[in-house]
Amino acid sequence: MDLLDKYQLKEWWLQALTASQRNQVANDYRPMGLPIGETPYLYQDLDKTDSNNGFGKLSLLLTLSYIAGDEAKHILQTKVENELLQCYTAPDSNLIDAHLALASLIKHHYSLRTAPEHYEKAKEFCLMQISISSKLVKKFRHLEKPKELKKLQNITGIKDPYYDEPQMLPSHTGYKQLAIILEKEGNIEGALKLSKQALKQGWTDNYEKRIDKLNQKLAKQKKN
């Protein structure tokens, strides 16, 4: 079983991409700079490789899209978005994988915001990422401990502060980007409410400063 089998992508992979596209992507996919072997890492038996790389299905597809040529890149990005919608509604979905994929998609579409369809897509993915944010707080504060580390801790009794103590939340692309969008659109109240919600949840983006700035803008707006 290889990575494509693991994530049930093999049939799609063979049908959606040409042989030359598959060869290019597979040969260029080298996690952590692994050397090129006779068999591309993507096709290697997981029993013979380190499969515990933290990737989910969406992260794998996104990574492949980054290294793909133009035509294959579009095919892979479309697949990511389709898979994301399925993952978003599934009760047992990998929320961290979805969160990270959404962050990448927001940045991608916002970078192309001069085209209306990309601008709207960026806003859509911001909303999707924000809608699962409350569920992600606990997952990011208390990271899941690898089984190997649990075994070592049982033997040594040594704690790991990265896993055994609450962590600071990272930046949240959806909150940050949508607040900027709303502010630029003139919806200061919306941007303010969003920033306050992000601050309350604990995401790290210097929201106190943004809230102060938005309050000042709102006060000026009300005077006029």
Least confident of 97-106, 142-151, 169-178, 195-204: 142-151
Inform me whether the pLDDT recorded for 215 exceeds 70: yes
69 in Cβ contact with 21 (< 8 Å): yes
pLDDT band (50, 70, 90) for residue 141 = confident
pLDDT at 90: 76
The beta strand positions in 131-189, using DSSP E, are none
> Cβ neighbours of residue 127 under 8 Å, at least 6 residues apart?
174, 178
125 in Cβ contact with 109 (< 8 Å): yes
Averaged pLDDT, 15-36? 88
- Which of residues 143 and 79 earns the better pLDDT score? 79
Averaged pLDDT, 106-132? 96
Map tokens 């070592």 to a residue. Answer: 152
Tokens of 120: 């709207």
Between the CA of residue 69 and those of 26, 146, 165, 203, what are the distances in Å?
12, 35, 42, 35
Q: What is the pTM of this model?
A: 0.82
Nearest to 179 by CA among 170, 171, 188: 188
Q: CA 182 from chain center: how many Å?
A: 22
Q: What is the mean pLDDT of the chain?
A: 87
Tokens of 29: 């996919």
In whole angstroms, what is the distance from residue 45 CA to residue 50 CA? 10
How confident is the model over 160-204, as pLDDT tens digits? 665 666 778 999 999 999 999 999 999 999 999 999 999 999 999
> Cβ neighbours of residue 181 under 8 Å, at least 6 residues apart?
122, 123, 126
pLDDT at 51: 43
Averaged pLDDT, 140-167? 67
Map tokens 């079983």 to a residue. Answer: 1
